[in-house]
């Protein structure tokens, strides 16, 4: 769990709410994780605005 992130959920709970294909598995060293998450969120928001 990342400090300041959403509450922790069991993976099985999440899979009931969202299709399995909507997840990305991210493996990053801790130092890169915040930057990687921020860029993923920005890309997601931009893609939503384009549609």
More confident residue, 14 or 46: 46
3-state secondary structure of 51: coil
Backbone angles phi, psi at 35, to 5 degrees: -65, -40
Does the structure show a pLDDT above 70 at 38? yes
pLDDT at 4: 57
Residue 2 burial class via C-beta count within 10 angstroms: exposed 0-12, middle 13-18, buried 19 and up: exposed
- Dihedral sign, CA of 42, 30, 27, 9? negative
pLDDT(9) > 70:
no
pLDDT at 50: 77
Instruction: Specify the pLDDT at position 49.
Output: 82
Under 8 Å between Cβ of 2 and 34: yes
% of the chain exceeding 70 in pLDDT: 41
Q: For the whole model, what pTM was predicted?
A: 0.39
């Amino acid at each position: 769990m990342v400090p300041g992130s959403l509450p922790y959920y069991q993976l099985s709970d999440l899979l009931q709410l969202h299709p399995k294909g909507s997840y990305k598995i991210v493996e990053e060293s801790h130092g890169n994780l915040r930057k990687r998450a921020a860029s993923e969120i920005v890309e997601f928001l931009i893609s939503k605005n384009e549609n």
